[in-house]
Structure 1
Amino acid sequence: MKKILNYIDGSYDESFSKDWLDNYNPSKGEVYSKIASSTKADVNSAYLAAKKAFPAWSNTTINERSTILSRIADLIDDHLDMLAEAETLDNGKPLNLAKSVDIPRASSNFRFFAHAITQFSSEAHESIGLNSMNFTLRQAIGVVGCISPWNLPLYLFTWKIAPALAAGNTVVAKPSEVTPMTAFLLGELCSKAGLPDGVLNIIHGTGPAAGQAIVEHPNIKAISFTGGTKTGESIARTAAPMFKKLSLELGGKNPNIIFADCNYEKMLSVTIKSSFANQGQICLCGSRIFVEKSI
């Protein structure tokens, strides 16, 4: 049975505990692989690898980082079929959705930020009459933690790690233990693209064990999390007293607003699609409908 291993310092390894979690194929309800069950020891190992890699990575040129991120995007495109099939097997979504949305968006995430970093500017402001100038200096902050959900596994995993890497940070990342396969496969593609060892480290395990260890690690400077509101509340409660930078994308309630002058047939099809695409598990899916009183 396939084993989903941690990716730390450019190598795949079991967790220190040697414990495993079951990974299910939801279409059959059967265990088809085993997931490394990580704890604080694994997270700290990943942190140390990221810390070691940070000085060199943060001092690479923008062009170097852009080139490597673009290569990762190209490799994701080259492995579209393999990644889409893995996403469908792991998540249960239709294969055509994984092929047309999830995996192409994952490569687009890397490509977007590969180009974006070449366009960043630093503002300068002259203090007239004082013979002085103020300017903005943007620098990488260090090791950051990224925790992603199960509804759009590789899509949202890459949406977090790509900008962090582009900015010169190194990363300790944890995908959902419900859908870890494509994040596991991504590690090898990153190595092939020339991403230096330790720049991206991927830890597998549960939220209370591995995820919480990332959040409460004293030297991980920032946390980006997408998931449930209650979990986000817990993360904020832990991270706020530590003055970590936080990005929390939590549960949303998005209304479809239907006006009397709409194209009725088009409205029906778009409303259904926007509410139930990806089984309705998208942050932007319509979970409420507001209808103008006249109709």
Structure 2
Amino acid sequence: MIELANYIDGRLLPPHSGLYLDDINPATADVFAKIPQSDSADLELAITAAEKAQPCWSTIDVAQRAEYLNKISQLILENSDALIAAECEDNGKPLWLAKTVDIPRAAANFKFFAEAITQFPSESYAMSSPAINYTLRKPVGIVGCISPWNLPLYLFTWKIAPALAAGNCVIAKPSEVTPYSSFLLSEICQQAGLPEGVLNLLHGEGNTIGRAIVAHEKIKAISFTGGTVTGQQIASIAAPMFKKLSLELGGKNATIV
């Protein structure tokens, strides 16, 4: 049976608790993998790693950052067969859908932001007095990314790639329902030589490790896609801490079946 691992400080590590969740194939109801049940101890390791990596990652040349992201994009394409199989087994989606949408888009997300970061403008405005107002784009620090089950790698990379491109370090949690492709992304990041601590992936349940990520004072921004009720809970925790928030919540389209 496959045993997934957390990705912390460039290493694949078991959960501190030693506890695992079942990863279930929805088509067969078979347990095919074990998922780390991460806790606050794992999060503290990730925070330490991200803090250590942040000064260098935020100040390296933009072209170097883009090079890492492009390398990850290329490796996603090179490992597409394994990633497609992972999405199908984990999520139950048709092979053709993972092959034509999910995995190509995951690669495109890294490539897009690798190119975009080299084109971000810096705006300035002349004043009537001998002075100039200007905008300066700077990383916010450590960013928490929490993604849903329906587009596992697609939306996971849509959150991670822009945060990394902008010079932030990331602590990310995939859905505990569909974590397999995110685990494979950890291995891809190792192959790409991504500096240790720049990206950290923690597996586990939303009401434990997800909540801990949202509430940690050293995580300065949260990007979340999921249910409206969960989004309300995240906002209630993050807003008093003045964290930057991106919340993509439940659909609003009525359906008659």
Contact 1:253 1:288 in 2 (8 A): no
Counterpart CA distance in 2 for 1:101 and 1:14 is 31
Q: TM-score normalised to the size of structure 2?
A: 0.98
Counterpart CA distance in 2 for 1:244 and 1:119 is 26
- Displacement of 1:56 in angstroms is 0.3
AA in 2 matched with 1:224:
S
In the alignment, which residue of structure 2 is the partner of 1:64?
64
5+ residue gaps, structure 2, are: none
In the alignment, which residue of structure 2 is the partner of 1:137?
136
AA in 1 matched with 2:236:
R
In the alignment, which residue of structure 2 is the partner of 1:273?
none
Counterpart CA distance in 2 for 1:40 and 1:209 is 8
In the alignment, which residue of structure 1 is the partner of 2:113?
113
How many equivalent pairs are there? 256
Counterpart CA distance in 1 for 2:199 and 2:190 is 10
Task: Tell me if 1:157 matches 2:156.
Answer: yes
Which stretch of the first structure deviates more once superposed, 119-128 or 157-166? 119-128
Q: Counterparts in 2 of 1:192-207, with a 5 A limit?
A: 192-207=191-206
Contact 1:222 1:245 in 2 (8 A): yes
Q: Counterparts in 2 of 1:218-237, with a 5 A limit?
A: 218-237=217-236
Q: Deviations over 1:32-51 (max 9, x none)?
A: 11001001111111111111
5+ residue gaps, structure 1, are: 255-286, 290-295
- Displacement of 1:288 in angstroms is 4.4
Contact 1:141 1:169 in 2 (8 A): yes
Counterpart CA distance in 1 for 2:73 and 2:234 is 30
Contact 1:2 1:32 in 2 (8 A): yes
User: Which contiguous aligned blocks of 4+ residues in structure 1 show a shift greater than 2 angstroms?
Assistant: none
Higher relative contact order (CA closer than 8 Å, sequence separation 6+):
2
Contact 1:8 1:49 in 2 (8 A): yes
CA RMSD after TM alignment? 0.9
Counterpart CA distance in 1 for 2:212 and 2:11 is 21
Describe the SS at the equivalent of 1:246: strand
In the alignment, which residue of structure 1 is the partner of 2:80?
80
Q: Counterparts in 2 of 1:1-295, with a 5 A limit?
A: 1-128=1-128, 130-254=129-253, 287-288=254-255
AA in 1 matched with 2:101:
V
In the alignment, which residue of structure 2 is the partner of 1:266?
none
Counterpart CA distance in 2 for 1:46 and 1:61 is 24
Counterpart CA distance in 2 for 1:134 and 1:190 is 39
AA in 1 matched with 2:4:
I
Contact 1:146 1:171 in 2 (8 A): yes
Which stretch of the first structure deviates more once superposed, 184-193 or 173-182? 184-193
Larger radius of gyration between Structure 1 and Structure 2: 1
Q: Deviations over 1:40-88 (max 9, x none)?
A: 1111111111111000000011100111101110110111111001110
- Displacement of 1:252 in angstroms is 1.8
